[in-house]
Copies of this chain bind each other. A is one copy, B any other.
Amino acid sequence: MGRVRYLEIAEALRAAILSGDYPVGAQLPSESDLAARWSASRGTVRQAVATLASEGLIGSRQGARRIVLRQERRHSFGELNSFAQWAEGVGHEVHSRFLSRTRRPATAEEAERLALAPGTEILAVLRLRLLDGEPTMVERTAYADWVAAAVEAMEPDCRSVMDGLAAGSAIVAHYGEHLIDALAAGSEDARLLGIRRGSPLLRQRHVSATNTGRPIEWSDDRYLAGSVTFSVSNSAVATPLERHAGDR
């Protein structure tokens, strides 16, 4: 059993919401109610409902009961950071093809994103990702020098590099930063994905870091338009997503 009380309570409430016991718009029990029912303190209950609020499942306003906002599962950290973890989580089959793996000095941006000295040698990887057999995403990743050897040692068609790093080297991603925009397919993108040059692509650039904040990889992932959608909930008290101006 989960030895952490507030996670137990959060999980039970989450399950009740997802199963429809509390439909969208319904009120949750009051804090004191929940505290009594779980024989926990009010603080612990508040930690539980705060967890659900951060997932966008419930909303709250002073003076009124909490209400259910959505009735959908929220993805985990790994499912946003790893293509393979996400695909399997939503029940798709994923394949990978390493097209090239070369060591070269980092570009200025790569050095910046990976917190490396300019010109440090990184491992540049080009991969084509297939979802249920169809080409879906082109991934260009720069791995920091200190993980390069571990990545090079992996199978040429391994399912998930991040999973491999975690299993083989105990290198685990804890933090991620993601930049999402759209762009036209270049000639290489077009050839690999089997589309015309200039076709719309959804791009997700992201850096993953360890629990000490040390960057592991900086990646540029380009999805076929229509193949994926990103989703985010926000509220007046906490906003996780932002919007940046591009170059004009």
Chain A residues close to B by CB (< 8 Å)? 24-25, 54-56, 59, 61, 64, 67-70, 74-77, 79-81, 86, 90, 92, 115, 131-132, 134, 172-184, 198-203, 209, 211-213, 223, 225-248
Chain B nearest CB, measured from A248 CB (Å): 7
Given contacts A90-B245, A236-B77, A239-B77, contact A182 B213 (CB under 8 A): no
Contacting residues, chain B, for A237 (C-beta < 8 A): 77
Query: How far apart are the CA atoms of A235 and B24 in the complex, in Å?
Result: 27
Are B225 and A200 in touch, CB under 8 angstroms?
A: yes
> Which residues does chain B contribute within 8 Å of A198, judged by CB atoms?
198-200
Look across to chain B and name the residue whose beta carbon is closest to the beta carbon of A230.
Answer: B180
Cβ of A229 and Cβ of B59 under 8 Å apart? no
Tell me whether B241 and A241 are in contact (CB under 8 A): yes
- Residues on B with beta carbons closer than 8 Å to the beta carbon of A231: 177-180, 241-244
Residues of B within 8 A of A115 (CB): 24-25
Residue numbers in B under 8 Å from A86 (CB-CB): 243
A246 in complex: contacting residue of B54, B75, B174, B229, CB < 8 Å? B229
- B24, B67, B225, B235: the one contacting A212 at CB < 8 Å is B67
Known contacts A180-B180, A182-B202, then 8 further A-B pairs from the complex at CB < 8 Å, ordered by chain A residue: A25-B115, A75-B242, A77-B239, A79-B242, A178-B233, A184-B225, A228-B246, A232-B241
In the bound complex, what is the Cα–Cα distance between A212 and B69 (angstroms)? 9
Q: Are B232 and A240 in contact (CB under 8 A)?
A: yes
How far, in whole Å, are A225 and B173 apart by their CA atoms in the complex? 30
For A132, the chain B residues whose CB sits under 8 A away are: 248
- Which B residues lie within 8 Å of A240 (CB)? 54-56, 232-234, 240-241
- Whether the pair A226, B77 counts as a contact (CB closer than 8 A) is no
From B25, B68, B184, B213, A25 is in contact (CB under 8 Å) with: B213
Q: In the bound complex, do residue B226 and residue A247 qualify as a contact, i.e. CB atoms below 8 Å apart?
A: yes
For A199, the chain B residues whose CB sits under 8 A away are 184, 198, 200
Contacts of A239 in B (CB 8 A): 74-77, 79-80
Q: Which residue of B lies closest to A238 (CB)?
A: B54
* Closest residue of B by beta carbon distance from A244: B229
Most B-side CB within 10 Å, residue of A182, A225, A238: A182
Q: Which 8 A-B pairs rank lowest in CB-CB distance, beginning with the nearest?
A: A240-B240, A200-B200, A182-B202, A75-B242, A182-B182, A229-B244, A181-B229, A180-B230
